[in-house]
Amino acid sequence: MSENTTAKKTGVDKLIDGIEKVCNKLPPPAILFCWLFLITAIIGCIFSVMGVALTNPASGEVVTSANLFSKDGVDWILGNMVKNFTGFAPLGLVITMTLGIGLCEESGMLISMLNSSLKNVPAAMIPYVIAFVGTVGNIASDTAMVVIPPMAAIVYMGVGKHPVVGMMVGYAGAQAGFTANLMVAGTDTLLQGLTNDAIKAFIPDTTFQVDPTCNWFFMIFSTFLCAVVIGFCSVHMIEPRFGKYEGAGEAKLEEVTPQQKKGLNAAGLTAIIYIIIIAIGFFTGLLSGENGAFIGSPLLKGLIPILFVLFCLCGLAYGFTAGTFKNAVDVNKAMSKQMAGMGSYVLFCFFCGQFQGLFNWTKLGTLLAIAGADGLEAAGFTGIPLCVAFILLCSFVNIFVSSGSAKWAIFAPIFVPMFMLLGYHPGFTQLLYRIGDSPFNCWTPMSAYIWMILSVAQTKYVPDLKIGTLISNMIPMSIVLQIAWIIVVVIWMSIGLPFGPGVGVALPAGIL
């Protein structure tokens, strides 16, 4: 990272420097998760011996911690070590998409496409565009976190900006803005189902429930809010700390040659034909869900292989037409080159998979969430202080437990009835949870994808980049977004705007 040493540092710069210095002292990712595995095992053992137990409001079952240093623990680790690695979801997703995108990159298609489409786009607009694309891209769930950051790096280089900043902006859009979107996404359906389960458990004979669109209006606005906040923070807080990129992988937007235009035309035609085939499959029912639904359809569930094939076909069409690929040997070399840089990430996935498997098996995440919910319930807050405290609780727990649905399965049975008794609509309670669940996603080291960003950035752009640089620059961004979201929701409450069709702050009369 290149900093302007002549300029006087602001308080924010000093804060970021301090966080970066602390986080850079963390051991390499594989070793870090070895230590976290050991710490989790010790805490689980202590809690197990002490008999710590809490009741899970989602199931009514008593949750106790498990002890790795016992016969059950030995049986678990021997029976699950390989499964913890091969079943680690980010492993297959990242390698698959890296292979597909890498083929496009090695063929030269991505650079040519960016040269053609972004040549006249003002550089000042790029951060906001990338943040917006990252946010709306999360309709594809975790796919956006893998696809968008590497492409954002290329875009940033093309307009003379630092590629690592581009990766962070794209990643922050997909992660910190995970809950926002212009369309109703799978997250809306998943959380709505858990909210309705909590309502039904609280009032068994009621027909009252919330719809997947209960937060839709607010989430549409939030999409633009995330893009503006993330883009603004990038321009004013992050870019000045990195300076001009002068690495070996530097790329500039240049005029597209006639041969490259032919390659782009071939890739475009290939993409159109492929999309038409996919559309036919969806509308004929082959790739659609029940009653032709998009949410929950094989098309959405199978987006990774569908995108993989798309990238591969387009990369091949461009490469052979533009002349960057001559034969199958060239294609094999291109794929091998991309995979050569994934060794450190595979190593990380092995140890992170063991840690996450143990963390789930010991039930420490569930105990943390239940304890936090019980503590907030006992605090006795009301009104706006209660809403803000609930958002902050969700933010804190999210640092340790990244699964949004798992946390809401625990929180919903507590807070949906609690807020209903105070006169709040369940859809509004769900919205508060989502606001707290998203911003800190972009920097928590518990997420495997931030380590993927580090691995790619080290391989392609800055070999000595450390995790502290990523975390320290994204923490202020997430804090600003969290504050902005809280301010907006308070104003939204005060004005009385609906959060979705028929959903406001107040619980409709006659429900209780």
pLDDT (tens digit per residue) in 39-71:
999 999 999 999 999 887 766 788 899 999 999
| CB neighbourhood size of 467 (10 A) | 21
Q: Using CA atoms, how far apart are residues 308 and 69, in angstroms rounded to an integer?
A: 42
Of 248-252, 253-257, 373-377, 443-447, minimum mean pLDDT range: 248-252
Residue 435 confidence class, pLDDT cut points 50, 70, 90 = very high
**Region 280-302 average pLDDT:** 79
**Region 377-395 average pLDDT:** 87
Exposure string for 110-141, b = 16+ CB within 10 A, e = fewer: bbbbbbeebeeeeeeebbbbbbbbbbbbbbbb
Q: Burial-class residue 52 by CB neighbours within 10 Å (0-12, 13-18, 19+).
A: middle
Alpha carbon of 104 to those of 99, 128, 288, 334, 452: distances in Å? 9, 24, 28, 9, 19
Q: The whole model's pTM is what?
A: 0.78
pLDDT of residue 2: 45
Q: Using CA atoms, how far apart are residues 111 and 510, in angstroms rounded to an integer?
A: 60
Of 21-35, 213-227, 250-264, minimum mean pLDDT range: 250-264
Question: For a pLDDT cut of 70, what percent of the chain falls above it?
Answer: 93
Beta bridge partners of 53: 64
pLDDT of residue 87: 86
Report yes or no: 473 and 194 within 8 Å, Cβ to Cβ. no
Report the candidate in 210, 256, 251 with the shortest Cα–Cα distance to residue 425: 210
Report yes or no: 168 and 238 within 8 Å, Cβ to Cβ. yes
Alpha carbon of 449 to those of 142, 256, 385, 407: distances in Å? 9, 33, 33, 19
CA angle, 246 then 248 then 251, to 5°: 75
CA angle, 85 then 89 then 90, to 5°: 100
Confidence check: pLDDT of 4 > 50 = no
Residue 27 gets which letter from DSSP? P
Of 323-332, 398-407, 495-504, minimum mean pLDDT range: 398-407
**What token pair was written down for 186?**
């799978």
Contacts of 225-228 with C-beta under 8 Å, sequence gap 24+, read 225/180, 225/481, 225/484, 225/485, 225/488, 226/131, 226/132, 226/135, 226/173, 226/176, 226/177, 226/180, 226/481, 227/128, 227/131, 227/132, 227/135, 227/173, 227/177, 228/128, 228/131
What integer best gives the mean pLDDT of the chain? 86
Report the candidate in 213, 23, 142 with the shortest Cα–Cα distance to residue 405: 142
Confidence check: pLDDT of 438 > 50 = yes
Confidence check: pLDDT of 506 > 60 = yes
The single residue listed with the structure tokens 């011996």 is 49
Confidence check: pLDDT of 136 > 50 = yes
pLDDT of residue 190: 78
Beta bridge partners of 501: none
Residue 356 confidence class, pLDDT cut points 50, 70, 90 = confident
Confidence check: pLDDT of 374 > 90 = no
**Region 282-295 average pLDDT:** 79
pLDDT in tens, 17-39: 888 888 888 788 888 889 989 99
Residue 340 confidence class, pLDDT cut points 50, 70, 90 = confident
Bigger pLDDT: 125 vs 410? 125
Residue 3 confidence class, pLDDT cut points 50, 70, 90 = very low
Q: Using CA atoms, how far apart are residues 144 and 132, in angstroms rounded to an integer?
A: 12
